[in-house]
């Protein structure tokens, strides 16, 4: 187990790099959005996903619209709350109180910071294309994108916390990231968010997940060291 300690330290260092990178990237995007530098890109992407003759018709077969409506619901408040409560209850039953505290920090931090930034930037939702689902409040950053990362990626990390099989860990985390990507893209496809809203939401979600994971790393170090001492 002693050989694992340098690997854990390496992961901690990498997570710090990713954490600060997500902060810097979010700040850059926020500045560009506030100065309306990203408008052309945002409009171009939204229009490219619609029929050139009728912007109310999305590209693709009819079933694709239903597919993305279903996918986008995976980032809704109702689903987020249900999964959060069930996950918290599971951690309580398993008496994983440290993981529970960190999980609640990630979820509450992600949700509250998203609401705060929406009020700060007060960006209106896209009007260049019709919305294909109902959407309220401000647009930047995307709450669906942020919370899909927060909920699904943090859940994947909890599931793989004690998992030894690296291939299985990689699969679970990759599946969670793919799900978050799908939810974020669905918001663009349905016309309720600009691409930069979604990108900022992903970055915000990753910040909280990485922050939470960094808080659990010292405990993991102690676990490896105590195992080695035995």
Q: What is the pLDDT of residues 12-36, one digit of tens each?
A: 778 788 899 999 999 999 999 999 9
Tens-place pLDDT, residues 154-212: 999 888 877 777 888 899 999 999 999 999 999 999 999 999 999 999 999 999 999 99
In the numeric block, the tokens 């996950």 are attached to 87
Tens-place pLDDT, residues 120-161: 999 999 999 999 999 888 999 999 999 999 999 999 988 887
What pLDDT shows up at residue 1?
A: 44
Whole-prediction pTM value? 0.88
């Amino acid at each position: 187990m002693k050989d694992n300690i340098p690997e854990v330290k390496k992961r901690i260092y990498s997570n710090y790099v990713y954490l600060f990178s997500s902060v810097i990237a979010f700040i850059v995007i926020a500045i560009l959005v506030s100065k309306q530098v990203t408008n052309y890109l945002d409009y171009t992407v939204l229009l490219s996903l619609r029929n050139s003759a009728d912007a109310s018709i999305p590209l693709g077969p009819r079933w694709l619209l239903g597919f993305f409506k279903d996918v986008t619901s995976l980032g809704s408040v109702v689903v987020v709350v249900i999964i959060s409560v069930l996950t918290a209850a599971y951690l309580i039953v398993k008496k994983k109180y440290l993981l529970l505290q960190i999980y609640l920090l990630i979820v509450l931090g992600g949700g509250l910071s998203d609401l705060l930034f929406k009020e700060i930037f007060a960006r209106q939702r896209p009007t260049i294309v019709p919305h294909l689902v109902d959407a309220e409040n401000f647009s930047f950053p995307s709450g669906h994108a942020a919370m899909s990362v927060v909920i699904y990626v943090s859940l994947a990390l909890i599931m793989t916390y004690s998992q030894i099989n690296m291939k299985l860990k990689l699969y679970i985390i990759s599946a969670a990231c793919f799900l978050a990507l799908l939810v974020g893209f669905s918001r663009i496809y349905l016309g309720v968010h600009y691409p930069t809203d979604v990108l900022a939401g992903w970055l915000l979600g990753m910040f909280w997940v990485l922050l939470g994971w960094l808080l659990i790393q010292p405990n993991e170090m102690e676990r490896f060291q105590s195992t080695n001492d035995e």
